[in-house]
Copies of this chain bind each other. A is one copy, B any other.
Amino acid sequence: MEANDAEGSVPDAGPEDTAARPHTGRRRNEAVRRAILDAALRLLVESEGAPITVEAVARAAGVGKQTLYRWWPSKGAVLLDALTDRAGQDVPPPDTGSLREDLRTVVAATFDAAQRAPWAPALRTLVREAATDPHLAELLRAYTGTRRALLRDVLDRGRARGELPADRDLDLVVDQVYGLFWYRFLLGHAPLDRAAAERLTDSLLAPGTP
């Protein structure tokens, strides 16, 4: 979990549109934004499974519903924003010169981040919401797209170094990682610990690979 502002946030108007229209009117209240995101995150974390209602978020934030709808296009956008907003910065993927090393690190970090409290329940609820909310689904798709791209870069570098056969299907590798991750994360039938990360990495790189 990292990155933020997966759209839905404030338009973040560039400074140059000031010429066109200097933005009259009362400005957005940052404290309100914070209150909403905090409330949403709290509900996301606490509400184990139960769906989250817009009214609950508004009430918890001490805010009118309209204020939510003014700034976010849908409930899902608020929830995703709440989750990503606090999720720390995008740690750049490692580049140690060893694919095995890099891959192991990325996979373990992914497994780890998702498990670390209090993200797990929040993330699970978010994905659940996405099933109902097409808008959130789209946002989530975009978000995971960037995550996939990051991993893909690591693999590309490894292949360039000759650590993978030139004809290896790297998208498949990426999807094996994230597929396994989401499958276990959502079903919860098997662990996503460091050992799993190791074994997954090993299974993806040919045994003889350095």
Interface positions of A (Cβ within 8 A of B): 49, 51, 127-132, 134, 141, 144-145, 169, 171-173, 175-176, 178-184, 187, 189-190, 196, 199-200, 203-204, 206-207
Contacts and interface: CB of A to CB of B under 8 A. Distances in A.
Total copies of this chain within the assembly: 4
For the residues of A in contact with B, the DSSP-based class is helix
21 contacts: A51-B132, A127-B131, A128-B131, A130-B131, A131-B132, A132-B132, A141-B189, A144-B187, A169-B199, A169-B203, A172-B190, A172-B200, A175-B183, A175-B184, A176-B179, A176-B203, A178-B183, A179-B179, A179-B184, A180-B180, A183-B183
Contacts of A128: 131-132
Contacts of A175: 180, 183-184, 190
A178 B176 CA distance: 9
Contacts of A127: 131
Contact of A182 (B51, B134, B182, B207): B182
A188 to B, nearest CB: 9
